[in-house]
Amino acid sequence: MAAKATFSANRRSSRSDAFLVLVLFLLSIPEGHSLEGFCAVGGDSDCGLSSHKILIKGGTVVNAHHKVVADVYIEDGVIVSVRSNIRVADDVKVIDATGKYVMPGGIDPHTHLEMEFMGTVTIDDFFTGQAAALAGGTTMHIDFVIPINGNLSAGFESYMNKAKKSAMDYGFHMAITKWDDRVSKEMEVMVNENGINSFKFFMAYKGSLMISDELLLEGLKKCKSLGAIAMVHAENGDAVAEGQKRMIELGITGPEGHALSRPPVLEGEATARAIRLANFVNTPLYVVHVMSVDAMEEIAKARKAGQRVIGEPVVSGLILDDSWLWHTDFTTASKYVMSPPIRKSGHDKALQAALSTGVLQLVGTDHCTFNSTQKAFGSEDFRKIPNGVNGIEERMHLVWNRMVESGQMSVTDFVRVTSTECAKIFNIYPQKGAILEGSDADIIILNPNASFKVATASHHSRTDTNVYEGMTGKGKVEVTISQGRVVWEDGKLKVTPGSGRYIRMPPFGYRFDGIEKADAAYLASLNAPVRRTKATA
Ligand code: URP
Ligand code: ZN
Ligand code: ZN
C-alpha cells in the first residue's frame, strides 16, 4: 500500500518547476561553458518539456525474467502497452528496433555527484553527471547524501538543492558519520518522510567519514527497526592509516602507495566484520564497491549460510587492474586512485565470475570524478589524491561487452544486474527496472552489432580524463528514453536541466521479508531465561 502511494507521488513531476529551473540554470552558465549537444532556450520542440507518444517497433524486449519480440507503446512518460503489432496514429513517433534489444534504462546504485570530499568537490554535478549517464543508457541513479557536521536534515536539504538541475530521475542513500539521539531520530524522518531507505556506514577514511564498530552496531539496529538497508564501505580504516604511514616511511609517495597501503586483506577483514555484525543483529547488509576476491569470498560464504548479504561490484573493479597505478606519468596513474583500490589482475576475473553466478547481485560505478588538476593535489603525497573514478557513462557498454558479448552472462541477466535488481532492492520495482505496462518509460535500445569507443574527447562528463580511455567493444546504446522522452539518439543529447524527479524509496523492501520469523526462531532457540529454584545458603 505504502509502495503504491509512493509510486503515484513520484509521478507528480512539476513541469512549471522544471521550466523555472531551466531558465535559472541557463542564466547561471558561466561564460565560455559550451552547451553543445544539450537543450537550450528557444531550441527545437523536441527539447523536453512537452510529453511524447512513442512506439518502439519490432525489437526484442528484455526484462530480467523474460525476453520476447514485441512493440512497446509509451504515452506521457509511462509504458502503456507491450505486445506485437501495435497500431498507432500519425502523431506518434515510431522507432524501428528490429534486430536490437529494448531494455529498461540502467539504474546506477552508487554515484557521488557534486560531493565535497578530500578538500574538493567532485567535478560532475547533477546535470553534467546525468547527461553523461543518459548518453550511456543509464536513466536513474542513487547518490549518497553526506550529512553536514553530522546533521542529516541539513545534508538532505543541501542535496535536494544540488539536484534541482537534474535531467533524469534520481534517489538518495544517506551516509551516517556520527551517532547521538538526534541522528537516530533524524534517520526516522529520512525514512518516514523523505523517501530514503538506505544508510551507508564508512569503515574507512579515518578522521573524516569513518565510524566505529559501536556506531555500526547502533546503525544496524536502527536500520533494522526502520526497514532500511544498511550499506558498508568495508575497509579497516585503522589498518589503512597504519599502511599509509608505512608507505610514507618507505619513501613511497606516489599513486602506487595507495594500493600498497590498503591491500585486499583489509577489505576482506572489514567485510567479514560487517557481515558478522549484521548477522548478530539479523538485518540485511549491502556491501558497496566489492573490489577483491577477499571481500567477495566473505559475501559468498555468508550467502551460502543463508544470510541476507548483497554484494555490489563496480565497473572499475570488474574491468581494470592496478598496473595503472605504477604508470610513470603521475596524471595517468593518479586517475586510477579510488578506495578500496583497483586490485591486481585476477581479482577482476573473479568478480566477473561472481557476478555471472549470482554471488554478487548488481553493478554500480561509484562515479566520483575529479579532474587532473584536482588529482594533482596529491602529486607529492598519494594520501592527498582525491579518491574516485568515472563510470556513469561507460557502465552499460562495458558490462555488456565484458559480460554478455564474452558469453559470461545472458541478456536477461544483464538487465537484472544493471537495472532490475537495484529497483527491487531499493523497493521501486516495477515502477523502475522493467518494461511492463504501467512502468516508467525509462528505456534503452541497444544495437548488439554496433561498436562503442570510450574517449575523453567525446564523453559527456565534465572531467578531462577517463579511466576507460580508448576501450572499444560491441553493443551500443543507440537510443535512451527517459520519462517517456527521447534524450539520446543519433549521437545527440537532448537533456533539460530541472526535468529530473526525486524518486522516493519506501522502506521494508523484499530483503526484509521473513526477518521477524528469523527473530522469533532465534528467541525460541535461546532456551532462556532458565527458571531456577533459589540457591540455598
Ligand atoms: O574512491 C572512492 N570510492 N570515492 C568515493 C567515496 C566512496 O568511498 O564511495
Ligand atoms: Zn565507499
Ligand atoms: Zn562511493
* Per-residue model confidence as pLDDT tens digits over 341-385: 999 999 999 999 999 999 999 999 999 999 999 999 999 999 999
Q: Evaluate: CB of 368 within 6 angstroms of ligand 1.
A: yes
Q: Closest Cα to atom 8, ligand 1: which residue? A: 339
Give which of 503, 418, 509, 435 is closest to 142, Cα–Cα: 503
Average pLDDT over residues 515-519: 97
CB-CB contact of 108 with 140 (8 Å): yes
Find the ligand nearest to 317 CA: 1
Q: Is 366 in the pocket of ligand 1 (CB under 6 A)?
A: yes
Give the residue-averaged pLDDT of 502-517: 98
Ligand nearest to the CA of 143: 3
Please report which confidence band the pLDDT of residue 536 belongs to, taking 50, 70 and 90 as the band edges: confident
- Identify the H or E element spanning 452: strand 443-453
The span from the CA of 236 to the CA of 202, in Å, is: 10
pLDDT tier at 18, thresholds 50, 70, 90: very low
- Out of 174, 208, 289, mutate this one to test ligand 1's pocket (max ligand atoms within 8 Å of CB): namely 289
Task: Give Cα 217 to chain centroid, integer Å.
Answer: 24
Give residue 45's pLDDT: 40
Ligand number nearest to the C-alpha of 231: 2
Residues 6+ apart with CB under 8 A from 153: 186, 189
Question: Would you state the pLDDT for residue 51?
Answer: 52
Q: Is 240 in the pocket of ligand 1 (CB under 6 A)?
A: no
Report the relative pairing of strands 443-453 and 169-175 from DSSP bridges. unpaired
Average pLDDT of the residues in 391-414: 98
Instruction: Encode pLDDT of 423-441 as tens digits.
Output: 999 999 999 999 999 999 9
* Region label for 440, one of left (φ > 0), alpha (ψ between -120 and 50) or beta (otherwise): beta
Question: In this structure, which residues have their CB less than 5 angstroms from ion ligand 2?
Answer: 233
How far, in Å, CA of 390 to CA of 393, rounded? 8
CA dist list (Å): 132 to 8, 167, 186, 199, 233: 28, 10, 33, 26, 25
